[in-house]
Chain A
Amino acid sequence: IQLTQSPSSLSASVGDRVTITCRASQGISSYLAWYQQKPGKAPKLLIYAASTLQSGVPSRFSGSGSGTDFTLTISSLQPEDFATYYCQQLNSYPPWTFGQGTKVEIK
């Protein structure tokens, strides 16, 4: 199962609403996770089962979608949210696959 994220990168300002899309090559129901990765750090789980927020993750993060199209939304971008975001399919494993990543940069 291939995952395609868009855009590959984006520039946004603090307070902006940001949306990242992940498209699967075949239907995966709601079996999708999202991660945040900051430079030099391990990825951090944000969302699993497409829309379930991991404990401790701020509520400005949300996930939606099912089937082949998914979105990660940051409702009001904060300085600490500038990072790279990855989606991961959980429908059929192994193998696990990740999207290619979306880098969120400061405008």
Chain B
Amino acid sequence: QVQLVQSGAEVKKPGSSVKVSCKASGGTFSSYAISWVRQAPGQGLEWMGRIIPILGIANYAQKFQGRVTITADKSTSTAYMELSSLRSEDTAVYYCATVSGSGSYAGWFDPWGQGTLVTVSS
């Protein structure tokens, strides 16, 4: 059973960058994709991007293109999400999640990491 453990909370200044990690245990890291989803305070879920570690290919939501970089280190079974040019509106909980399923029906997110709070404040 795959488990995802994320790095701890961060406080960042506007204009800086943050890099959040997501370490997987159980399962075979390269055999599944990892997505990143964020949730601003009191708001809904927003997909940011995903990486397929075995291919090293990442896709990003248009909203975050140019500001987000998702990478994966197969040697440590860890995915990373780096968001740059931070602004106050980026204050949110950031989650990683495994993209599950196979064949015709696939694409749901399970399991999820515990979330990482990123606070952007001057």
Q: Which residues of A line the B interface, CB within 8 A?
A: 30-31, 33, 35, 42-45, 48-49, 52, 54, 86, 88, 90, 93-101
Q: Which residues of B contact A45 (CB under 8 A)?
A: 100, 108-111
Q: Which residues of A contact B105 (CB under 8 A)?
A: 30-31, 48-49, 52, 90
Q: Contacts A42-B112, A42-B114, A96-B35 hold; do A86 and B45 have CB atoms under 8 A apart? A: yes
Q: Which residues of B line the A interface, CB within 8 A?
A: 35, 44-47, 49-50, 59, 61-62, 95, 97, 100-101, 105-115
Q: Which of B45, B62, B100 contacts A98 (CB 8 A)?
A: B45
Q: Which residues of B contact A44 (CB under 8 A)?
A: 112
Q: Which residues of B contact A93 (CB under 8 A)?
A: 107
Q: Is the interface of A mostly helix, strand, loop or mixed?
A: loop
CB distance from B86 to the nearest CB of A (A): 22
Complex: how many Å from CA A98 to CA B114?
19
Complex: how many Å from CA A100 to CA B42?
11
